[in-house]
Amino acid sequence: MKIVLIGATGTVGSAVAKELSEFDVVKVGFSGGDYQVDIEDRAALDALFEKIGMVDAIISTTGQIAFGPIKELTYDQFAMTVNSKILGHINLFQAGREYVKKGGSMTFTSGYLAQHPIEGSSAVSLVNAALDSFAKAAALELADELRVNTVSPRFLKETLEQMGMETAEGVSAADTAKAYRHAILATETGQAFDTAAFVAVD
């Protein structure tokens, strides 16, 4: 199986690459990896897929977001979040769709804050919910031609630990990566896979 992994050099992306190491994973980053691309740049995406060719799956774990009190977030911060996390992924969907073999999949990363917002998450909750809804609508139209799903990560244990916060409610990057494995190997489409469902039980 040939998989294009966008965001491969980040914490989640690196864990996904490791989880799927038995496959041919093409690692794409913003400044590292096998190839580099900015998902907001349509010409760059077109050139990327022309080089890579046909694949079985595309996974994206990338996207810039702004987090902060709603009274302090600026319009530009909302616009940056929307342009990266929503429009960037629409760009990726349109550029990459023709390069995914019939029956293959595209998996985007939304997040738990879509349905469970917290203080400071207004911009993040907005774009995560939009990605979940887009995947459902796209899956409905594309049927068995192309499966479209999202993975909805919880807070990463690694991130919580770095911030000096309690990690009990977090999900490790390694467990988070298992949701992406499920997304590309299962037959489901139009789903948002909560990473908490894939936590290893001791």
Write out pLDDT tens, residues 104-153: 999 999 999 999 999 999 999 999 999 999 999 999 999 889 999 999 99
pLDDT of res. 63: 93
User: Is 202 a residue whose pLDDT tops 60?
Assistant: no
Rounded CA-CA distance 135/129 in Å is 10
Is 196 inside a domain boundary? no
User: Is 201 a residue whose pLDDT tops 70?
Assistant: no
pLDDT of res. 38: 96
Rounded CA-CA distance 15/182 in Å is 14
CA dihedral angle for residue 30, residue 33, residue 34, residue 37, rounded to 10 degrees? -10
- Give me 107's structure tokens: 């998996």
How far CA 41 is from CA of 31, 38, 48, 90, 131, in Å, comes to: 14, 5, 11, 11, 19
Is 47 inside a domain boundary? yes
Query: Could you give the percent of the chain with pLDDT greater than 70?
Result: 99
> What are the tens digits of pLDDT across the range 31-74?
999 999 999 999 999 999 999 999 999 999 999 999 999 999 99
At 75, the pLDDT band (50, 70, 90 cuts) reads very high
User: Is 159 a residue whose pLDDT tops 70?
Assistant: yes
At 30, the pLDDT band (50, 70, 90 cuts) reads very high
pLDDT of res. 169: 80
Is 126 inside a domain boundary? yes
Residue with tokens 């990473």: 195
Rounded CA-CA distance 81/200 in Å is 32
- Structural domain boundaries, residue 66: 2-191
Is 57 inside a domain boundary? yes
Q: Which amino acid is at 133?
A: S
pLDDT of res. 163: 75
Per 3-state DSSP, the chain is made up of helix, strand and coil in percentages (nearest 5) of: 45, 20, 35
Is 91 inside a domain boundary? yes
Is 148 inside a domain boundary? yes
At 160, the pLDDT band (50, 70, 90 cuts) reads confident
Task: State the distance between the two ends of the chain, measured CA to CA, in whole angstroms.
Answer: 30
Sorted by sequence, the CB contacts under 8 Å of residue 183 that are 6+ apart come out as: 59, 105, 107, 149, 151, 191, 193
CATH number for 15: 3.40.50.720
Is 38 inside a domain boundary? yes
Mapped onto helix, strand or coil, the DSSP state of residue 23 is coil
Is 140 inside a domain boundary? yes
- Number of structural domains, the chain? 1
- Candidates 69, 163, 87, 62; CA nearest to 123 is 69
User: Is 4 a residue whose pLDDT tops 70?
Assistant: yes
Rounded CA-CA distance 27/4 in Å is 6
